[in-house]
Structure 1
Amino acid sequence: MPIRTNRGRTAVYRRLWGWPLRSPRHLIGTLVILAVLLTAVGILLPKAVGKPGQANTAGTGTSTSRPGVAAPVTVTSTLPPRLSSPPPPSSAPIDQDGTRVAKEWVTAWANHPDGTTTEQWLKRLEPSTDVEYMAKLATVDPANITATKVVGEPQVVTSVQGSMEVDVQTDGPKVKVTVVKTNAGWRVTNFSQVA
């Protein structure tokens, strides 16, 4: 039986729109159905329309290009090739003041008679040590140092502008010292013991 009055149509519409809000189960079911429909439209619509830039040639066996569309362009770079490693630093002449500071520092480093406190030991190192490196040296216990004196002349391993690595032989291990030229002169910024 057809609906003939506006009042009857309104009631039908109200029942259709109100159905999802009747219970949580109705609402979840409506949302699931809506998600499935939107997903299906999202998948099928691009297939029906076709990809942009392609002509629909299904079944003809020929391919046509769209007028006004340029062919793909191959881009070549005019930039220089990327360096795989940094260029080696240029060597500089050996500065005798730097080697002298390295030897003085290792002599003060190795000089720690029994009973020497860390503060006394650091005081001897301070004149030839970089200020920032003094904080690291404060963690060293001089009692753990096996060397007691320098037994050889310093040997420069590398020398670049404003920096040198110098090996100094002690009666214990060989000590590799990095000295850097600062405004205050040559200062030690790092050391390591070489076996």
Structure 2
Amino acid sequence: MPIRTNRGRTAVYRRLWGWPLRSPRHLVGTLVVLAVVLTTLGILLPKALGKPGQTASGPGTSATSTSRPGAAAPVTVTSTLPPRLTTQPPPSSAPPDQDGVRVAKEWVTAWANHPDGTTTEQWLNGLRPYTTEEYLAGELTTVDPANITATKVTGEPQVSTSFAGSMEVDVPTDGPKVRVTVIKRNFGWRVTKFTQAG
């Protein structure tokens, strides 16, 4: 028999909502049924609606789903660009440029030339034609020529590594062997770094 009064409907609703609270067994049973329903919905709804950003495009394409304010539905943007490389391939080696080797030898000759009484400014002026301005104004200004043990170049330079725009050249001296890094600029080869060679 249908319920025809508001008082009767309220009593039915109160009975339905109050049923889980009548006993611990009713409460646990209600929570289990609720968990099963929510899990089922969580699994079935994405499959039924389709995952966002998923399109029927082939490999090599990526799609993103974005929604603009005021738009009724999300806009899907598909890109056919290849993935971005995060590392650059190593530069390929090239035959040594003799101008770069000559600059490295002349730089080490000027570097080792520091007779007693030579000021840092005079020493730097001797290096200036062969050195990048950045290196000359940076690290080399902190070098005291009196601390350099070499006084002359004692042999021919040997190219350690050679690329199209840079080289590492080992130059023997009467002190340590010096490894000079030279780079090619528009106006010629210039020294950008030196270390003691192993």
TM-score normalized with structure 1 length: 0.61
Residue identity (%):
63
Structure 2 counterpart of 1:186: 189
**1:55 partner SS:** helix
Residues 149 and 85 of structure 1: is their aligned pair in 2 closer, same or farther, counting only changes over 3 Å? same
Give the alignment's Cα RMSD to 1 decimal: 3.5
Which runs of 5 or more structure 2 residues have no equivalent in the other structure? 1-30, 62-81
CA distance 1:152–1:71, shift in 2 (3 Å):
same
Q: Show the counterpart of 2:118.
A: 116
Cα offset, 1:55, TM superposition? 3.5
Q: 1:98 to 1:49 in 2, by over 3 A?
A: same
Opposite residue 187 of structure 1, the aligned amino acid is R
Separation (CA, whole Å) in 1 of partners of 2:108 and 2:171: 7
Deviates more, 1:139-148 or 1:75-84: 75-84
Of 137, 140, 160, the residue aligned with 2:140 is 137
Flag structure 1 segments of 5+ consecutive residues without an equivalent: 1-45, 57-63
Q: Does structure 2 conserve the Cα–Cα contact (< 8 Å) formed by 1:147 and 1:171? A: yes
Q: Kindly name which structure, 1 or 2, has the bigger radius of gyration based on alpha carbons.
A: 1
Q: Matched residue pairs, number?
A: 142
| 1:145 to 1:49, Cα distance in 2 relative to 1, 3 A | same
Asked whether the 8 Å contact 1:179–1:187 carries over to 2, the reply is yes
User: Equivalent residue for 1:69?
Assistant: 48
Q: CA deviation at 1:98?
A: 0.2
- How does 1:95-174 map onto structure 2 within 5 Å? 95-135=97-137, 136-174=139-177
